[in-house]
């Protein structure tokens, strides 16, 4: 059960990226589950935190090429975060708690 809730915190990127890890973090009494829920929440929030400076750079870009580059960089960061969450969810399911 510990592994399932921890993995669902990472897999929630598919269905409730911010809400589910917060609920699990608040409700869970187990340090193992809380730790994974915190990490999953941060990994869901990180791309949007990275978007703040990227949005500023996008707005202040002096050329179309650099503006497009910042948009592409955001999608690369978001894609890597998405893959990270899927990989961590699978790793948590496979480990012995």
Whose CA is closest to 85, among 1, 19, 21? 21
Decide if pLDDT at 58 tops 90: no
Contact indicator for 92, 36 with CB cutoff of 8 Å: yes
Rounded to an integer, the average pLDDT of 5-24 is 91
Rounded to whole angstroms, how far apart are CA atoms 17 and 39? 12
Contact indicator for 36, 9 with CB cutoff of 8 Å: yes
Contact indicator for 6, 32 with CB cutoff of 8 Å: yes
State the pLDDT confidence band at 59, using cuts at 50, 70 and 90: confident
Rounded to an integer, the average pLDDT of 58-67 is 88
Q: How many CB atoms lie within 10 A of CB 27?
A: 11
Lookup result for tokens 């497009």: 68
């Amino acid at each position: 059960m510990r592994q399932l809730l921890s993995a669902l915190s990472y897999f929630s990127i598919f269905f409730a990226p911010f809400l589910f890890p917060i609920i699990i973090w608040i409700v869970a009494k187990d340090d193992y589950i809380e730790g994974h829920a915190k990490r999953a929440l941060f990994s869901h929030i990180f791309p949007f935190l990275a978007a703040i400076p990227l949005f500023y750079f996008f707005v202040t870009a002096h050329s179309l090429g650099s503006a497009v580059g910042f948009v592409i960089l955001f999608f690369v960061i978001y894609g890597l975060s998405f893959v990270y969450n899927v990989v961590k969810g699978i790793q948590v399911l496979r480990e012995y708690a």
